[in-house]
Amino acid sequence: MARLPLEGVRVVDMTVVWSGPGCTMLLGDLGAEVIRVETAQHFPNSTRGIAPRLSKEQAEKLGYIGSAFPNKDPGEHPYNRQAMFNCHGRNKRSVTMDLSRPEGREAFLKLIAISDVFVENNALRVLDHLQLTYDVLREVNPRLIMVRMAPLGMSGPFHQFLGFGPNFNALAGLVAMSGYYNADPTTAGENYHMDEAAAPAAAFAVMAALYDRAKSGEGQQIEFAQCENLIEGLGEWILDNQMNPGRLPSVLGNRDLYLLQGVYPTLEENRFVALTIRNDQEWERLVRLMGDPPWAKDPLFCTAVGRLEHQDEIDTHLAAWTALRRPGQLFALLQAEGLAAGPVWPESVALADPHLAERGYFRPLTQTESGTHLHPGHPWKASGMELQWSKGAPCLGEDNAYVYKELLGYSESQYQAMIEAGHARTEYV
Amino acid sequence: MAQAGSKTQLDRGKGGESVSQVLDDVRIVDLSRWIPGDYCTKLFADFGADVIKVEKPSEGDWTRHYGPFPGDRPDPEKSALFLHLNTNKRSITLNLKSKDGKQILWQLILRADVLVESFRPTTMESLGFPWEELHARNPRLVYTRISNFGQDGPYRDDQASGLTLQAMGGPMQSTGLADREPLQKPGNLSLYSIGNMAAEATMAALLVSKGQGEGQQIDVSGLEALLSSVDRRMTFLMAASYTGEDAPRGEGAISLFPTGAFPCADGYVMFFVAPAFFKGLLELLGDPQLLAYFEDLEAIYRPEESRARLDEVLYPWLMSHTKAEIMELAESHQVPITAVYTIEEMRNSTHFRERGFMEPIDHPVAGTLEYPGAPWRMRHGWALRRPAPRLGEQTEEILTELGYHPDALPLLRANGVI
């Protein structure tokens, strides 16, 4: 077995919500020591949950995510038990310091001096106000790789605009193509695709910069404009808009430009099956599977173009057939005919799936205040290295003593002073 | 105190080497044929790697046959999807079922750092390229295998499409409206995500190969890459593991706080008014009665009633403003609301123009088009060196590099090898 590629790499993590933490999660999997720098003076909303203090009754009224704690109990420290944080917190450490005061700033700069990478995805002004920009940090550590995941980049008329993933999805052109077939974007529901696209790409960027540093000896700042990274996933529509001047992608919902596909009901309530028919042979196999019903013999349905033109009619018939069967039964029947079909999985079904169990995708992990639970696992497998899977998400300030004393060399009395001054804390103020 | 300016396993050189693009010393042989593999190797190619696409003679990559196309007329050299996904790559055609084709592929693999494939599992083994032999003959080789369900497990040989993978792996069950069927993400986004994750994995294994000299096999299951997405699915899986409950469809994460697209005078705007911004929204709307209602701190624990009160004021206000006005006003009140741009509005927006995000390049068949530029900006970073290759455009060039004499090519061509 090889050593993990980021063994010996220390990452200072000042990320919030999903995109940045997703990036540092991947770096941690690869052996980096990821240290979240947090501030007990400010509760980071939508990162460690929705509120720093919550009763069980209040939590229940905050919807699915708002109450996503073990046994739906927020406990004394809800921010240490939140699914939205604990899902991506594996392998990471947490230290707290108040960066707006001199002793907190000094500790932070000491940490930067002994680190390799600094990842942050706050609103740009946050680090600007703290005067913790690359120019300052480079003086402390010229080998530092700093990643600023500013959604709209660090220049341009909108670059300071405030927003979350969906806001930038909208500017990217993604939202205008979203929604049910022929419906408008208000039907689209939620989408945080910018975050999904950013996490692995930013991890790639960090590795590329480490590779560059190994050759050049120098660190650098990476300007990771998350919105532009997202737009890479829309490239074909950008070219189409030029090849066919002014043409915009149609709102296809679950349909496809060329293939018959859709999402159909099953015998079970709120359970669905997705199906794509890729060619005439697959269509014929589907018709045979359904028992050669007379409606399916219509010559209009024999070609791909005909099936798309008459999809409303086909969908009605298909839905009537699928609605009599259970999702698992449809999955097996359609796959047995070599058709691309899959049930739409609620989380509980994924958690119990035999294929994922055999591949060991979900794995138990212990979080200090949440206990031991199955967690979503590594995104891929490697034959030659053991990806890191050490501990659950860190509680707020869980590693204060380690960071201040072992890493930064604070004496016991210096560390106590940081506690007394409210820098090193394990609860929000 | 820990060592300052730590050295990692990669840092063996003295530094100061000259580099034009960060990955310009990386060689990749790319056997993939669809969006995940194409996007994986595009990231390497755009940051400097020499990516050789090995394509099936007279057919080529599937993305050549899937549009959109100019005038909707299929043309393997004019597919917008192919042109976008294959910038900076070179193309050689090879019949992998022929003896000579296999021989040439071995030659390419022996000098490569990375081999990427997205065939059905076991295809590479039956073609005569099992991992054991690849590893034995090129111990440094990173071998990235992208598949729907992974290289083992009960679903290994099952069929899938972008839609069905998203249905199982993505957050689809909880996307869309409560009283309708689940809804996928638009375009080909989930397939890009699989490619993105495959690129991250390949880069990690490449660092091991370059640093320690050890190659390895990477198994990217599209299903698992999507389950591992921070776009809700990981959070929801964790939540279900904690509570036993599945994520609902058609409710905002927090029902009082407006999120999602809303109609306005000339189109749509996107709201993400998380709790911290709610007060700003009330101030932006400027309705005294509404402000008074929300002075009661308990109002947030009556989400349905409170939301109804908000909507009475919100909708009329939106319909009396344009998306540009709303975005400017929201920004001045520090409330996250943005315009919903079409692809064309995005292309022409002053923001992306002033940043110089798009970059034009001429393609001999498709003409000059503007392509999306750098996904991120770094030293020795992204560059558009050449447009996507025509099918087999560099076949001769690559065979010459391998030492084939030009006189040998006609026979290979006649035998259907290239």
* Residue A384, min C-alpha distance to chain B (Å): 5
- Domain-terminating residue out of A292, A318, A343: A343
* Residue B313, min C-alpha distance to chain A (Å): 18
Same domain, B146 and B215: yes
Domain interval for residue A133: 10-232+383-420
A212 interaction partners in chain B (CB closer than 8 Å)? 19, 22, 378-380
Q: What is the pLDDT of residue B8?
A: 61
Same domain, B302 and B215: no
Q: Is residue A19 part of a domain?
A: yes
Same domain, B324 and B204: no
Q: What is the pLDDT of residue B11?
A: 59
B192 interaction partners in chain A (CB closer than 8 Å)? 197, 232-233
Helix axes A193-216, A165-172, angle to 10 degrees: 90
Q: Give the three-class secondary structure for A53.
A: coil
Question: In A, residues 93-112, which contact B (CB 8 Å cutoff)?
Answer: none
Same domain, B337 and B371: no
Q: Is residue B177 part of a domain?
A: yes
Q: Is residue B409 part of a domain?
A: yes
Q: What is the pLDDT of residue A236?
A: 98
Same domain, A329 and A387: no
DSSP per-residue string spanning A197-263: HHHHHHHHHHHHHHHHHHHH---EEEE--HHHHHHGGGHHHHHHHHHTTT------TT--SSSEEEE
* Cross-strand bridge partners of residue A276: A261, A340
DSSP per-residue string spanning A121-137: -S-HHHHHHTT--HHHH
For residue A380, name the pLDDT band (cuts at 50, 70, 90).
very high
Same domain, B339 and B366: no
CATH at B101:
3.40.50.10540
Question: In B, residues 183-212, which contact A (CB 8 Å cutoff)?
Answer: 183-189, 192-193, 196-201, 203-205, 207-208, 210-212
- Domain-terminating residue out of A343, A371, A406: A343
Interface contact flag, A173 B248, Cβ < 8 Å: no
Same domain, A129 and A180: yes
Same domain, B222 and B126: yes
Interface contact flag, A374 B210, Cβ < 8 Å: no
Q: How many CB atoms lie within 10 A of CB A336?
A: 12
Mutation target among B79, B231, B345 for the A interface, most CBs of A within 10 A: B231
Q: What is the pLDDT of residue B4?
A: 41
Q: Is residue A288 part of a domain?
A: yes
* Residue B157, min C-alpha distance to chain A (Å): 9
B185 interaction partners in chain A (CB closer than 8 Å)? 178, 191, 193
Q: Is residue A241 part of a domain?
A: no
Q: Is residue B130 part of a domain?
A: yes
Domain interval for residue B143: 27-231+359-414
Q: Is residue B254 part of a domain?
A: no
Question: In B, residues 42-71, which contact A (CB 8 Å cutoff)?
Answer: 43, 47, 66-71
Same domain, B375 and B277: no
Phi-psi domain of A246 (left: phi exceeds 0; alpha: psi -120 through 50; beta: other)? left
Question: In B, residues 149-178, which contact A (CB 8 Å cutoff)?
Answer: 149-150, 152-155, 158-169, 171-177
Same domain, B217 and B264: no
As averages over each run of 10 residues, the pLDDT of chain B (418 residues) reads 50 62 98 98 98 97 96 98 98 97 98 98 98 98 98 98 98 96 98 98 98 98 98 98 96 71 97 90 96 90 88 97 97 96 97 98 98 98 98 97 94 92
Distance between CA atoms of residues B257 and A380, nearest Å: 36
Same domain, B70 and B115: yes
Q: Is residue A247 part of a domain?
A: no
Is a pLDDT exceeding 80 seen at residue A206?
A: yes
Q: Is residue A389 part of a domain?
A: yes
Per-residue pLDDT reduced to its tens digit, A403-418: 999 999 999 999 999 9
Interface contact flag, B373 A21, Cβ < 8 Å: no
* Cross-strand bridge partners of residue B368: B362
Q: Is residue A255 part of a domain?
A: no
Per-residue pLDDT reduced to its tens digit, A69-112: 999 999 999 999 999 999 999 999 999 999 999 999 999 999 99
Q: Is residue B311 part of a domain?
A: yes
- Domain-terminating residue out of B343, B378, B395: B343
Dihedral sign, Cα of residue B224, residue B229, residue B233, residue B238: positive
Question: In B, residues 88-127, which contact A (CB 8 Å cutoff)?
Answer: none
Cis bond leading into B68, ω under 30°?
A: yes
Same domain, B405 and B298: no
CB distance B25 to B207 below 8 Å: no
* Alpha helices for B141-272 (secondary structure H): 162-169, 189-212, 222-227, 233-243
How many helices (H) and strands (E) would you count in chain A?
A: 19, 12
Average pLDDT over chain A, rounded to an integer:
97
Distance between CA atoms of residues B38 and B28, nearest Å: 12
CATH at A33:
3.40.50.10540
Same domain, B321 and B400: no
Counting the structural domains of chain A, the total is 2
Same domain, A67 and A211: yes
Q: Is residue A237 part of a domain?
A: no
Helix axes B189-212, B162-169, angle to 10 degrees: 80
**ipTM for the whole complex:** 0.98
Q: Is residue B373 part of a domain?
A: yes
Interface contact flag, B377 A223, Cβ < 8 Å: yes
**Element (DSSP H or E) covering residue B406:** none
- Domain-terminating residue out of B294, B313, B343: B343
CATH at B274:
3.30.1540.10
Same domain, A47 and A154: yes
Q: Is residue B336 part of a domain?
A: yes
Per-residue pLDDT reduced to its tens digit, B13-63: 555 566 699 999 999 999 999 999 999 999 999 999 999 999 999 999 999
Q: What is the pLDDT of residue B5?
A: 43
Mutation target among B183, B279, B311 for the A interface, most CBs of A within 10 A: B183
Interface contact flag, A163 B168, Cβ < 8 Å: no
Q: Does A372 touch chain B (CB under 8 A)?
A: no
- Which residue in B66, B158, B212 is closest to A2 by CB distance? B212
Is a pLDDT exceeding 80 seen at residue A392?
A: yes
Same domain, B78 and B196: yes
Q: Is residue B253 part of a domain?
A: no
Average pLDDT for A158-174? 94
- Which residue in B43, B242, B339 is closest to A68 by CB distance? B242
* Residue B186, min C-alpha distance to chain A (Å): 6
* Residue B224, min C-alpha distance to chain A (Å): 6
Counting the structural domains of chain B, the total is 2
Q: Is residue A354 part of a domain?
A: no
Least confident segment among A55-64, A114-123, B75-84, B90-99: A55-64
CATH at A279:
3.30.1540.10
